[in-house]
């Protein structure tokens, strides 16, 4: 009797069905991977669904457009700038702050965000300018305000230095030189910016 037809097929391992936050995290990770490999123009909702091992409907159910998906993926992945410890010196505090801002700008999602802004049309880019402002620029300005306030209290910084133009100086300089001069802001670059720009700008009169 031929029993080959009754031979059992190899058991198939069913992939666990993911829901909620687990599935959303997988989709966001897949979107970031697509940005890193094919860029904004090459990214598709179908490709993200394939990368996340889910259906296209699951992606569209949560994010109705590519812009919405990419914005959330970048926001979720950008490393936090975090608080700046009080090291007793405005120069040392600024170095910590600038290193953290640099690490966010040149992280994997930071690179992806700048690539998206360069590839998008002006209308689409507006959405992502908000992401970089909220995720990198605004936290940097907030921490810079804290550093300057501590410097004023220690007598290192003149009181009228606590203004919006001063607070904009570091993020504006870092964004400008990274874009226009392709500067990657190594530690020496950061030290020179602080010593030649920020310290003279902040220094108390007569010091």
Q: Are residues 108 and 197 in the same domain?
A: yes
Q: How many domains does the chain have?
A: 2
- What is the biggest distance separating any 2 CA atoms in the chain, rounded to whole angstroms? 105
What are the start-end ranges of the H helices in 43-137? 45-52, 56-62, 66-77, 90-105, 108-119, 122-132
**Residue 38 tokens, joined:** 């094919």
**Residue 111 tokens, joined:** 């690179």
Report if residue 72 sits inside a domain. Answer: no
Residue pointed to by tokens 């020179």: 192
Half-sphere exposure of 111 (CA within 13 A, CB side): 13
Q: Are residues 82 and 46 in the same domain?
A: no
Task: Write the CATH number for 41.
Answer: 1.10.10.60
Q: Are residues 188 and 88 in the same domain?
A: yes
Residues 26, 23: Cα–Cα separation, whole Å: 5
- Residue 26: which domain range? 20-64
Q: Are residues 82 and 52 in the same domain?
A: no
- Looking at residue 28, its pLDDT comes to 95
Q: Are residues 89 and 182 in the same domain?
A: yes
Report if residue 132 sits inside a domain. Answer: yes
pLDDT in tens, the chain (207 residues): 444 443 444 443 434 566 788 999 999 999 999 988 888 899 999 999 999 999 999 999 999 999 999 989 988 888 776 788 999 999 999 999 999 888 888 887 877 877 787 788 877 777 777 887 887 778 888 999 999 999 999 999 999 999 999 999 998 898 888 878 888 899 999 999 999 999 999 986 555
- Looking at residue 29, its pLDDT comes to 93
Report if residue 7 sits inside a domain. Answer: no
Has this prediction a pTM greater than 0.75? no
Q: Are residues 105 and 28 in the same domain?
A: no
């Amino acid at each position: 009797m031929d029993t080959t037809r009754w031979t059992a097929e190899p058991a198939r391992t069913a992939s666990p069905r993911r829901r909620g936050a687990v599935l959303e995290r997988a989709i966001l990770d897949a979107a970031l991977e697509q940005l890193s490999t094919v860029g904004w123009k090459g990214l598709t909702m179908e490709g993200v669904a394939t990368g996340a091992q889910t259906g296209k409907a699951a992606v569209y159910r949560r994010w109705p457009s590519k812009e919405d998906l990419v914005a959330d993926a970048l926001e979720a992945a950008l490393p936090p700038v975090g608080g700046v410890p009080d090291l007793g010196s405005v120069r040392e505090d600024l170095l910590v702050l600038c290193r953290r801002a640099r690490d966010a700008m040149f992280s994997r999602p930071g690179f992806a965000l700048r690539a998206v802004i360069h590839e998008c049309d002006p209308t689409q880019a507006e959405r992502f300018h908000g992401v970089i402002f909220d995720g990198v620029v605004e936290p940097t300005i907030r921490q810079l305000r804290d550093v300057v306030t501590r410097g004023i209290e220690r007598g290192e910084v003149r009181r009228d230095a606590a203004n919006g133009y001063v607070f904009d100086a570091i993020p504006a300089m870092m964004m400008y030189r990274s874009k226009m001069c392709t500067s990657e802001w190594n530690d020496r670059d950061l030290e020179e910016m602080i010593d030649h720009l920020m310290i003279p700008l902040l220094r108390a009169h007569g010091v």
